[in-house]
Structure 1
Amino acid sequence: MSRARVLLLNAALGPLDYRVPHGMTVEPGSIVVAPLGPRQLMGAVWEADRMPSDAEVGDNRLRNLLAVADVPPLRAPLRRLIEWTADYYLAPPAAVLRMAMPSSSALEGARTVTEYRATGVVPDRLTPQRAQALERIADRQGLVRELALAADVSDGVIRGLVKVGAIEAVEVDIDTPFPPPDPDHAQPALGAEQRTAATAITDAVEARAFQPFLLDGVTGSGKTEVYFEGVAQALRQGRQTLVLLPEIALTEPFLKRFAARFGTAPVAWHSGLRQSQRRRAWRAIAGGEGKVVVGARSALFLPYADLGLIVVDEAHETSFKQEEGVHYHARDVAVMRGRFEGCPVVLATATPAIETHQQVEVGHYTHLTLPGRWGAAELPAIEAIDLIAEPPERGRWIAPRLVKAMEEVLDRGEQSLLFLNRRGFAPLTLCRTCGHRFKCPNCTAWMVEHRLVRRLACHHCGHIEPPPRACPECGQEDSLVACGPGVERIADEVTALFPEARTAIVTSDTIWSPAKAAEFVARMEAGAIDIVIGTQLVTKGYHFPNLTLVGVIDADLGLEGGDLRAAERTFQQIMQVAGRAGRGEKSGHVYIQTHSPDAPVMRALATGDADSFIAAETAARRDAGAPPFGRYAAIVVSSEDQAAAQETATLIGRTAPEVEGMLVYGPAPAPLAMLRGRHRFRLLVHARRALDVQEVIRGWLGALDWPAKVRVTVDVDPYSFL
């Protein structure tokens, strides 16, 4: 090639043409460095016929490419995925490409880094902190900061142990190959239903053909063991596997489970990795040495050399929907990646989304079911507690029947879990004298009190401030009152009820890394925790055989706000948290506290009649033309200047095209009318399923101009209506 079309990592630009200097060899997918004005930008070479340029430039005016990276080119299936994602989600191709590209460090040659590990030497002066550090570090190796975090001590304690010889420095090649997993390391004895499902997946892996599966099994039915057989088959073929998890906090327990089956940990990919770890992982994946990758949704866009299987675990999870930047849904993009790669895709879940059920119904997905729990474990009994008929004591939030059940579980030496999907101590703080409510200065949201760290926090923008002694409105001291419960308040109530019980609060405030999650799991497995109080973070994937009681404090919470998927999401969340109970030989019990025991979703949860609930929800969606039977796209207009945002939103609404089968609602102020200091207006496009709504929106918005200070974002298939 003497001329190359390059997609640069600049979302404001389209593809640009460059001259390929004599002696440089590039091909579609090559990662290159190109000049742009005085700057140098990274990009990827693309097929000219697939990425039209806005302006054709003669050869004599082209600038030379500066360098080509010594890494494998992005393969054609990944390039097709980038094109499809940009087209479907109305995103700049460069913004999608950025998710597949390495950091600049991944393009450099071999490098080393200094890590540290314990030597076994016990220092003469063994302070409590030093003893704690050495105990928790054990055989762990890493940077000073990583060891300090793992040991819950300061960096200075680790450096002090280095000085006295208890910890030593080790020079590590950061591109050390990952040890290959062994598909025959510890093969499980599968039950008949598991074996049938596993055979269907392994046959598809062996056939090297695209085939989507819904692996639909109740909590604790052994779905992981089943899709591990597909992973083993891909390993035997020398091919790669991607396993997507909804939360990085689940990564560490999963890695341990994987290592027990395959003899070594997989390659991890998530935001908690440091730069050198990301470099090592990216290069191993691109080179084909990284055989199994376990990661968050961003792992979808890595440049796999030979992908043989994709698994989306907990596929119903809404956290697979990206709400910033490119608004893609990892579940749906995973299916498309499988199509482009020509490999099977497994969506594993105990509570499939209605969209996934519909794909099974029309024959696009193969349905594999695991109706019973693994081994001797049985599904827990579920009871609803009517909070109107059985209210908690005044000033408390746990109903007497649930308190009594917790007492019995404690007496038996078993563990309990209380679930409330609300972080902090209280969702609202107000002045009892003048009624002043603490609002976030940047968002249309109340400040949440976090009493453990003594702060008021906004959960939307991250703004924090210390709680004042006096009301800022009327000046009255000691008049501030916390309204409503968060997990910290429930934890206080538990401590008052059971002062001898050992409790743990599990939220994104306390479990912010895989290492913290691993520490929590270890304490649970060791029996060092009696009662867990947690948010949705604790509903996913954890397996604690001694946990026999689950109490849902406020089952109605998820039904508020008029969300399209509110009932479905509530059903999924509570079924998932209920599934934490009775996963071993001991039977489990679940209590659901609700003010609406006769609501369809509560009846379905109490009776376990998921099929009737899904059928009723599906019929309601079909009647309304809502997804998956119709299509939504949200257009969000925002600006720090409220008038400019409103004017642009009005312009977009006024120029909406009249298209058969499409309606446009709005503009209207968004429910979250201000977010991070930006005023927000929303329009909602509702279209029939067959309409190419992206093409309509592309032409509609492409013909308009708005001020540079106004941001217009399109969210195709939205999950958030805030």
Structure 2
Amino acid sequence: MQPPRWKSSEPNQPAGVSSVPRIRVLLPLPLAAGAYDYRIPAGMAVQPGDFVVVPLGGRQVVGVAWDGPSDPDLPASKLRDVAGLLDVPPMTETLRRFVTWVAAYTLSAPGAVLRMAMSAPAALEPPPARAGWQLANAEPPSRMTPGRARVLAALRPGQVMAGAELAAAAGVSSAVVRGLADAGMLVPALLPPGRAFAPPDLALPGPVLGPEQDSAAAALRAQVAARDFGVTLLTGVTGSGKTEVYLDAVAECLREGRQALVLLPEIALSAQWLERFRRRFGVDPALWHSELGSKTRAKTWRAVAEGEVGVLVGARSALFLPFPDLGLIVVDEEHETAFKQEEGVVYHARDMAVVRARLAQATCVLVSATPSLETLNNVESGRYRHLDLPERHGAAGMAVVQALDLRKTPPERGRFLAPPLVEAIRETLARGEQAMLFLNRRGYAPLTLCRACGHRMRCPNCTAWLVEHRAQKRLQCHHCGHAEPIPPTCPECSAPGTLTPVGPGVERVVEEATALFPDARRIVMASDTIPGPAAAAAAAAAISDRQVDLIIGTQIVAKGWHFPGLTLVGVVDADLGLAGGDLRAAERTLQLLHQVAGRAGRAEAPGRVLMQTFNPDHPVMQALVSHDFEAFMHAEAAGRRPGHWPPFGRLAALIVSSEDEREADRAARDLGLAAPRGDGVEILGPAPAPLALLRGRHRRRLLLKARKDVQVQPLLREWLERVKLPNSVRVQVDVDPVGFL
């Protein structure tokens, strides 16, 4: 990419460590050195926050003039000149402090964090000027065609209009406009820059809120109006109107003249949320997610920087957009692990949202029907406020949840739906209502093995089985994307026709449902069938319009959908998330199944949820049946507190990886030997990661466990500095890990 154009500036001679004016510049590159010193040439004024073009090696790079003193030991003779200053709003001090804070907390290179704040390079280029037409000073002829007269009448003196817009306003063809220009009646002129996003209409009436909703909304409005930092947890059962309440806070933020950011875990699947926003404010919000094209990203980034965007709805990366006056951050479904970024700069958007709100003196609202134990602990300690909506809005009541014991009522041989669930679906469909089947597993079967020799089809690049996708006639790894055709014979023993699918995936449930309910109109909601926003919106519309009788899906179906006709939810395998030794396995399973259960009975007709399980007495199942989330979380806290497990202690992981297994083992061993020791600190490992091979790299893990009062970042820095590792070995640092694969 060519460096964008830049503007000239007046001279500036800041007081510095020498007579040569210099400035620190941070580049969006993962360089350990951080910011570099550059000389400010005569005739140019550069201040912290300005976007600049500087030389680096043999190329020119765009960076940001950064805060802090220059290196007093660096002689002026080694300085290189700033090459140019970009015509773009400077990065605010708040965002620069946020970049520095995230880098220090996550032990990342500051430039790697800056790159996330400069994720739309084309936005640094001023938008191209657009040409239009305005009236000339010439006197119009005495005789003129009616069409030409209408064109001249459509333009006020000094007004500029695009040719197509002018022709449409006058009801003529573009040829008539060109004819007037040829006659000297119109002259070319530049169009004024238009708004990229229409402002929300605050005059539109909001929805009628119930007493509890109104009270919660008033508390959030007061917090926003105070223009001071504070964090509030907004809880409530599914369907209690949490979205309407925090949209009231968004409206208050706009009335204050500030900007609002709403983070959603799956923005590409939020068609119904966007429809609620349109009803509330009459326009679409600005969007930010990975599926936006480069032009839209550039337009949105620049509009945010110029203060034109009042409300932006985005994925976790939206936290790094250049808001000049951020007054409110909402993290919807704050418990979702989708807010944790696991690659590159490893951070949790929920936690970083709180930090950005603090730096901006803004309100932060965390929203969930099943909040994380970390957030609940912050409420109990008094760091966060708490607002609760205990009842569903309107006439809807809570769905009845029942655990189906598969030991007593197993499915028929070769099938996966138990007779009570099959019968409940038949009754639901007979009443003209909708039913849903949920299984959080993509594909047809999670494992394929040979009946003759027992060989299991595994990924060559990962410690994972290949998942059969029968419709595409392929086996696929869901970790690295490796795919291969289903072989006709066993690769190990060459026996023909012996490869057998083991266990159900969502495609296998579809096959069974098709045989059991042949007349039911079905839709499959999984990442394979719902690839983006348009597909999600079409699926939601089809279900809402009652063009679908039976919904079958993975965790996508749990993402906040409102389907009034849906009264029955069947969970095919409620035990699925409980396997393994993950610290948060039970908590996560409860949150997911609670979300899924919340899709049933959201209108007048009562809802029912049937969960197939081999362990109906498990605390997760009992909490779901009794709707007693609070008691479950109290028990979870009691189990973690004695061992100082989060949120009552600190964790940080080192993930060591190399393409050479022995090299990975040596590096992990050396780190283990150099591990910090001390009161309140414990090192677990090194040990092979559960995914010991991922994308062709062998992985080993070490876990630093510490008391809550221990600062883990200095310990980690000293630890990593003690060991010199080869360049072929990577060490990823994960402070506050939420997953352990």
Same topology, TM > 0.5: yes
CA contact (8 A) 1:250 1:541 kept: no
Residue equivalent to 1:617: 636
Q: Which amino acid aligns with 1:40?
A: Q
The answer as to 2:42 corresponding to 1:58 is no
1:584-613: CA deviations, max 9, x gaps?
Answer: 111100001110111111111111111211
Residue equivalent to 1:184: 203
Residues 317, 372 of structure 1: CA spacing in aligned structure 2 closer, same or farther, 3 A cutoff? same
Unaligned runs of 5+ in 2: 1-13, 15-20, 131-190
Q: Which amino acid aligns with 2:512?
A: E
Higher-Rg structure is 2
1:363-404: CA deviations, max 9, x gaps?
Answer: 000000000001111110000000101111111111111111
Measure, in 2, the Cα distance between the counterparts of 1:249 and 1:180: 22
Residue equivalent to 1:292: 311
Residue equivalent to 1:569: 588
Q: How does 1:395-414 map to 2 (within 5 A)?
A: 395-414=414-433
CA contact (8 A) 1:246 1:320 kept: yes
SS in 1 for 2:704: strand
The answer as to 2:566 corresponding to 1:547 is yes
Higher mean alpha-carbon deviation, 282-291 vs 29-38, is at 29-38
The one of 461, 464, 472 equivalent to 2:483 is 464
Following superposition, the deviation at residue 455 of structure 1 comes to 1.2
The one of 246, 251, 255 equivalent to 2:265 is 246
1:419-454: CA deviations, max 9, x gaps?
Answer: 111000000001111111110010010000011222
The answer as to 2:615 corresponding to 1:596 is yes
Q: How many residues align?
A: 661
1:296-320: CA deviations, max 9, x gaps?
Answer: 0000010101111100011110110
The answer as to 2:126 corresponding to 1:106 is no
Measure, in 2, the Cα distance between the counterparts of 1:174 and 1:483: 60
CA contact (8 A) 2:590 2:620 kept: yes
Residue equivalent to 1:124: none
SS in 1 for 2:388: strand
Q: How does 1:594-673 map to 2 (within 5 A)?
A: 594-673=613-692
Measure, in 1, the Cα distance between the counterparts of 2:686 and 2:464: 21
Measure, in 1, the Cα distance between the counterparts of 2:121 and 2:223: 37
1:140-159: CA deviations, max 9, x gaps?
Answer: xxxxxxxxxxxxxxxxxxxx
Residues 479, 173 of structure 1: CA spacing in aligned structure 2 closer, same or farther, 3 A cutoff? farther
Q: How does 1:321-336 map to 2 (within 5 A)?
A: 321-336=340-355
- Give the fraction of aligned pairs with identical amino acids, expressed as a percent: 56
CA contact (8 A) 2:674 2:722 kept: no
Measure, in 2, the Cα distance between the counterparts of 1:111 and 1:418: 51
The answer as to 2:124 corresponding to 1:97 is no
Residue equivalent to 2:61: 41
Following superposition, the deviation at residue 541 of structure 1 comes to 1.1
Measure, in 2, the Cα distance between the counterparts of 1:458 and 1:111: 44
The answer as to 2:363 corresponding to 1:344 is yes
The answer as to 2:221 corresponding to 1:195 is no
The one of 28, 39, 42 equivalent to 1:22 is 42
Measure, in 2, the Cα distance between the counterparts of 1:666 and 1:323: 20
Following superposition, the deviation at residue 32 of structure 1 comes to 1.3
Measure, in 2, the Cα distance between the counterparts of 1:499 and 1:528: 15
RMSD of aligned residue pairs (Cα, Å): 1.5
1:236-268: CA deviations, max 9, x gaps?
Answer: 122100000001333332222101110000000
Q: Which amino acid aligns with 2:61?
A: L
The one of 711, 714, 720 equivalent to 2:733 is 714
Measure, in 2, the Cα distance between the counterparts of 1:571 and 1:317: 12
CA contact (8 A) 2:271 2:540 kept: no
SS in 1 for 2:312: strand
Following superposition, the deviation at residue 483 of structure 1 comes to 0.2
SS in 2 for 1:272: coil
Q: Which amino acid aligns with 1:76?
A: E
Q: Which amino acid aligns with 1:195?
A: D
Residue equivalent to 2:98: 81
Residue equivalent to 1:538: 557
SS in 2 for 1:339: helix
Q: How does 1:469-480 map to 2 (within 5 A)?
A: 469-480=488-499
1:76-132: CA deviations, max 9, x gaps?
Answer: 11111111111111111111111111433111122389xxxxxxxxxxxxxxxxxxx
Measure, in 2, the Cα distance between the counterparts of 1:382 and 1:199: 33
The answer as to 2:52 corresponding to 1:32 is yes
* TM-score, structure 2 as length reference: 0.88
CA contact (8 A) 2:458 2:466 kept: yes
1:604-638: CA deviations, max 9, x gaps?
Answer: 11111112111100110102210000011111000
Q: Which amino acid aligns with 1:721?
A: F
Q: Which amino acid aligns with 2:311?
A: V
Q: Which amino acid aligns with 1:336?
A: V
The answer as to 2:605 corresponding to 1:586 is yes
Measure, in 2, the Cα distance between the counterparts of 1:65 and 1:199: 50
Following superposition, the deviation at residue 175 of structure 1 comes to 7.2
Measure, in 1, the Cα distance between the counterparts of 2:537 and 2:714: 46
1:495-541: CA deviations, max 9, x gaps?
Answer: 00001111111111111211111111111111111111111111011
Residue equivalent to 1:218: 237
Q: How does 1:330-479 map to 2 (within 5 A)?
A: 330-479=349-498
Measure, in 2, the Cα distance between the counterparts of 1:513 and 1:424: 18
SS in 2 for 1:592: strand
Measure, in 1, the Cα distance between the counterparts of 2:65 and 2:722: 29
Measure, in 1, the Cα distance between the counterparts of 2:524 and 2:475: 18
* TM-score, structure 1 as length reference: 0.90
CA contact (8 A) 1:111 1:175 kept: no
Residues 174, 644 of structure 1: CA spacing in aligned structure 2 closer, same or farther, 3 A cutoff? farther
Following superposition, the deviation at residue 471 of structure 1 comes to 1.2
Residue equivalent to 2:9: none
CA contact (8 A) 1:270 1:298 kept: yes
Measure, in 1, the Cα distance between the counterparts of 2:258 and 2:87: 22
Measure, in 1, the Cα distance between the counterparts of 2:107 and 2:408: 51
SS in 2 for 1:86: helix
Q: How does 1:155-166 map to 2 (within 5 A)?
A: none
SS in 1 for 2:726: coil
Following superposition, the deviation at residue 56 of structure 1 comes to 3.8
Residue equivalent to 1:695: 714
Unaligned runs of 5+ in 1: 114-171
Q: Which amino acid aligns with 2:84?
A: A
SS in 1 for 2:489: coil
